[in-house]
């Protein structure tokens, strides 16, 4: 197993913000799988969904993990909210490092993302309903993948970072 710290969790749980701050504090490089895919495809995630569909994006996520396993160590890796859902990715995440799940409530996600237009899966009439149903399906998956679960809704990003740093 590699020595990366991997942040998983639902859209809007704070993976990217926490990951960036953590990378400064731990002097580690930060990789974000969405950004990695966008750079490689030269397209935004939204455009990838529109042009090629969700399944193609999911394949790109798996390819991304495989490449990261070959190329990165001692880094902070923030992964897209749907990446852990693909079963094949569980084994890859475990190989890549220590998996930390930032668990938040649907209401927290809704409040953080209600004006955000960059998440194709939430471009629906009832985003809160969508968040609740996706979270119900994904919650057990995130928990099964995680080495550590942090209940993050009530915590500041600084508090989340302290907890992660106390662990590693």
Structure tokens at 167: 């662990």
Considering the rule CB under 6 A, would residue 45 count as an interface residue with ligand S3P?
Answer: yes
When the beta carbons of 27 and 53 are compared against ligand S3P, the nearer one is: 53
When the beta carbons of 80 and 127 are compared against ligand S3P, the nearer one is: 80
For residues 10, 12, 16 and 19, what is the CA-based torsion angle, rounded to 10 degrees?
A: -70
Q: Closest by alpha carbon to 23, among 163, 168, 161?
A: 161
> N- to C-terminal Cα distance for the chain?
15
Q: Total residues contacting ligand S3P (rule CB under 6 A)?
A: 11
When the beta carbons of 72 and 122 are compared against ligand S3P, the nearer one is: 122
Q: Closest by alpha carbon to 138, among 100, 86, 99, 85?
A: 85
Least Å distance, CB 134 to ligand S3P, is 7
Angle between helices 127-145 and 106-113 (to 10 degrees): 120
Least Å distance, CB 12 to ligand S3P, is 7
Looking at 87-156, list the stretches that DSSP marks H as alpha helix, in order from N- to C-terminal side: 87-96, 106-113, 127-145
34, 84, 102, 141: residue in contact with ligand S3P (rule CB under 6 A): 34
Positions in 66-125 near ligand S3P (CB under 6 A): 80-82, 119-121
β-bridge partners, 76: 5, 30
Least Å distance, CB 80 to ligand S3P, is 3
Contact pattern for ligand S3P over residues 8 through 27, marking x by CB under 6 A: ---x---xx-----------
List residues near ligand S3P by CB under 6 A: 11, 15-16, 34, 45, 80-82, 119-121
């Amino acid at each position: 197993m590699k020595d990366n710290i991997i942040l998983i969790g639902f859209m809007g749980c704070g993976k990217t913000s926490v990951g960036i701050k953590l990378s400064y504090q731990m002097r580690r490089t930060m990789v974000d799988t969405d950004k990695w895919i966008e750079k490689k495809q030269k397209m935004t995630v939204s455009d990838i969904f529109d042009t090629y569909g969700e399944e193609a994006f999911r394949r790109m996520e798996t390819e991304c993990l495989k490449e990261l396993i070959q190329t990165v160590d001692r880094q902070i890796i923030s992964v897209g909210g749907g990446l852990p859902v693909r079963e094949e990715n569980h084994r890859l995440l475990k190989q890549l490092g220590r998996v930390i799940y930032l668990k938040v409530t649907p209401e927290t996600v809704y409040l953080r993302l209600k004006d955000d237009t960059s998440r194709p899966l939430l471009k629906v009439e009832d985003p809160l309903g969508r968040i609740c149903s996706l979270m119900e399906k994904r919650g057990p998956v995130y928990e099964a993948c995680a080495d550590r679960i942090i209940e993050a809704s009530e915590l500041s990003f600084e508090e989340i970072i302290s907890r992660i740093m106390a662990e590693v």
